[in-house]
């Protein structure tokens, strides 16, 4: 399911955009996840919630094909509902590229979701990648295509 950098079918510019994106979490205090950079606020949130890991996932724009606002919100609502119904602890957020060239994508931080579960969830919602945070609190881009 997961892809390595050499096996991905994603365009280099899209991969770079994913790496540059600020993954913002509306937690008890604002959190900004950046791929490859330790994030102390997410480490504190995970510790406070007794979670050893977390995943940042969206249902917006499957396979990076732009959809309208209503369709994207409906997809995210379905994702949120499935996770809430399964008992996951969620925090709202959004992926925002610093250039402002792309509209922010509403997303969810899911506490306690292991890397493999995050990859499966992202694949189910037709995403190219998800962001996963392990015990070291360094967000990783997990490629799915």
pLDDT digits (tens, 9 = 90+) for 2-27: 665 556 789 999 999 999 999 999 98
Please, are residues 41 and 29 in contact by the beta-carbon 8 Å criterion?
yes
Q: Does residue 31 form part of some domain? A: yes
| Residue range of the domain that includes 125 | 12-143
Q: Does residue 48 form part of some domain? A: yes
Q: Does residue 4 form part of some domain? A: no
Distance between first and last Cα of the chain: 8
- DSSP E strand boundaries for 50-99: 54-57, 89-96
Query: 50-70, pLDDT tens digit by residue?
Result: 999 999 999 999 999 999 999
pTM for this model (two decimals): 0.94
Q: Does residue 6 form part of some domain? A: no
């Amino acid at each position: 399911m997961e892809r390595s950098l050499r096996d991905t079918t994603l365009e280099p510019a899209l991969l770079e955009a994913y790496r540059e994106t600020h993954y913002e979490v509306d937690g008890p205090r604002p959190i900004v996840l950046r791929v490859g950079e330790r994030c102390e606020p997410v480490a504190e949130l995970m510790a406070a919630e007794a979670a050893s890991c977390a995943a940042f996932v969206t249902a917006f724009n499957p396979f990076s094909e732009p959809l309208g606002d209503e369709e994207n919100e409906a997809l995210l609502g379905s994702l949120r509902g499935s996770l809430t119904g399964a008992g996951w602890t969620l925090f709202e957020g959004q992926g925002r590229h610093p250039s402002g060239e792309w509209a922010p994508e509403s997303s969810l931080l899911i506490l306690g979701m292991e890397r493999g579960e995050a990859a499966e969830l992202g694949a189910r919602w037709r995403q190219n990648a998800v962001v996963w945070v392990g015990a070291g609190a360094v967000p990783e881009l997990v490629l799915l295509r």
